[in-house]
Amino acid sequence: MPRIVTELPGPRAQAFLAKSKQYEPQSMSDQVPLVWDHAQGCTIWDVDGNEFLDWSSGVLVTNCGHSHPQYVAAVQDQAGKLINCYDFLSQPRAELAEKLVSITPPHLDRCFLVTTGTDATEAALRMARRASKGWEVLSFHNAFHGRTYGAASAGGTQGVKLGFGPMVPGFIHAPFPYCYRCPFGRCLDECGLFCLEYLDYLVSKESCGELCAVITEPYQGGAGSITPPPGYFEGLERWARSRGMYFIFDEVQSSFGRTGKMFAFEHFDIKPDLVTLGKGLGSGVPCSAVMGTSEIMDILPPGSMGSTNGGNPLSSRAALAAIDIIEKEGLVANAARIGEVFKARFEAIQQRHCQLGDIRGYGLVYGLELVTDPESRTPDADLTRRTINAAFRRGLCIIAPIGVHKNVIRVAPPLVITEAEARESLDIFEAAFEAALAGE
């Protein structure tokens, strides 16, 4: 449980923060001044010995808990044996490909291993273009698929594009169903999923008739955990299929138990052709993958895709250990069960404080959208930042504000979180939120 023993940031943290300021660019996200030393399970210790509960999992990475002993042992053992052998085959890579094919639906019978989520996005886009006759990809406003040029062009957040143009051609962006702030000014009770109907109009104006794929996240994480209404993905998939397009599901952050299912696509009645995985797959050691059909992947000739670190023995072994822990310790079920504790508490807080405008998510990933008042729904970025700072001072680590308006608190603890840790962290959050409301 949290224990703050110095002023924050403490003296050692201040020294490292000064070094960072002197030697690193300011381009990374603006996190609270927590300088991590080590972490175990759901607890972080900073360099001054202060102890925090973790609502970040890095950034939805360490699903099986920080430095799980079984995971650490596997990584140490593999590091002593073999770390890189390029595209030459190793036992861990072959076994990881087999494992991933065995835990995904039967039509996803091929696994291509890479290193980062962005690599997986790029690989999926290349595969879709190569395997189809077209090259246009429909993607969404506010989406985040990575920061390289292909991935950033697929994405729809200004943050990754502003000043970095020109973007890669061939992407058509559609409004995503952000029902709390509907881009069409509609209401879910009466809209009949107008955002799906609108796609025909959009492509009739924007497309050169070369559509090949749709890419979407199951929920838009960085944009504020924006979770589409029931029936949306089923409708989107039907729409894509009726035009002969591939359906790409970006599960880089939503997989490996995060949403209370092993994969988020299990919440819907859909059958994506390509699924990208990352973050929780390696649970710390970078590892990512594209799962796909042999119909698509077997079209790619030898040498057309590959990378220096993709599928390396160390990250493959780490991923195998992480999946084993997730399965053996029932972390998917734990995420679903503890997620209900979170949800119930957030709803209770919302009853008391109307500035908690919207609660979105499932399993152990929530976005809490803070507003000045529920009628105007004016985003309150200042309250969001102050709540995160107040939580930090009380021993709870929360990622910097997310969302289109930077007014969303991201809740994403490691999936090993116990009910006692969940309740303790919720008590801290509520105290911090109330302190921020009072002006702290």
Ligand X SMILES: Cc1ncc(COP(=O)(O)O)c(C=O)c1O
Which residues contact ligand X by CB under 6 A? 116-118, 121, 144-146, 217, 221, 250, 252-253, 278
With respect to ligand X, which residue has the nearer C-beta, 236 or 252?
252
- CB of 73 closer than 8 Å to CB of 431: no
With respect to ligand X, which residue has the nearer C-beta, 145 or 386?
145
For the CB of residue 220, give the shortest distance to ligand X in the complex, in Å: 8
With respect to ligand X, which residue has the nearer C-beta, 28 or 187?
28
**Which 3-state string (H, E, C) describes 118-164?**
HHHHHHHHHHHHHHCCCCEEEEECCCCCCCCHHHHHHCCCHHHCCCC
Instruction: Please tell me the distance from the alpha carbon of residue 133 to that of residue 137, in angstroms, as a whole number.
Output: 12
- CB of 432 closer than 8 Å to CB of 391: yes
For the CB of residue 279, give the shortest distance to ligand X in the complex, in Å: 6
For the CB of residue 110, give the shortest distance to ligand X in the complex, in Å: 20
Instruction: Please tell me the distance from the alpha carbon of residue 151 to that of residue 153, in angstroms, as a whole number.
Output: 5
Phi and psi at 15, nearest 5°, equal -65, -45
With respect to ligand X, which residue has the nearer C-beta, 277 or 422?
277
- Coil vs helix vs strand at 213: strand
With respect to ligand X, which residue has the nearer C-beta, 121 or 389?
121
Question: Could you tell me the CA-to-CA distances from 219 to 25, 173, 181, 339 in Å, in that order?
Answer: 30, 16, 15, 16
With respect to ligand X, which residue has the nearer C-beta, 144 or 239?
144
For the CB of residue 59, give the shortest distance to ligand X in the complex, in Å: 6
In this structure, is the dihedral angle defined by the CA atoms of residues 185, 242, 252 and 60, taken in order, positive or negative? positive
For the CB of residue 89, give the shortest distance to ligand X in the complex, in Å: 24
- CB of 290 closer than 8 Å to CB of 254: no
- CB of 311 closer than 8 Å to CB of 282: no
For the CB of residue 209, give the shortest distance to ligand X in the complex, in Å: 28
Which stretches of 160-301 are assigned E, i.e. beta strand? 171-174, 211-216, 246-251, 274-277, 288-292
Instruction: Please tell me the distance from the alpha carbon of residue 151 to that of residue 129, in angstroms, as a whole number.
Output: 14
Q: Which residue is nearest to ligand X (CB)?
A: 117
For the CB of residue 404, give the shortest distance to ligand X in the complex, in Å: 15
With respect to ligand X, which residue has the nearer C-beta, 248 or 371?
248
With respect to ligand X, which residue has the nearer C-beta, 134 or 155?
155
Instruction: Please tell me the distance from the alpha carbon of residue 1 to that of residue 53, in angstroms, as a whole number.
Output: 7
- CB of 129 closer than 8 Å to CB of 190: no
- CB of 155 closer than 8 Å to CB of 276: no
For the CB of residue 325, give the shortest distance to ligand X in the complex, in Å: 20
Instruction: Please tell me the distance from the alpha carbon of residue 104 to that of residue 401, in angstroms, as a whole number.
Output: 33
For the CB of residue 272, give the shortest distance to ligand X in the complex, in Å: 14
With respect to ligand X, which residue has the nearer C-beta, 223 or 368?
223
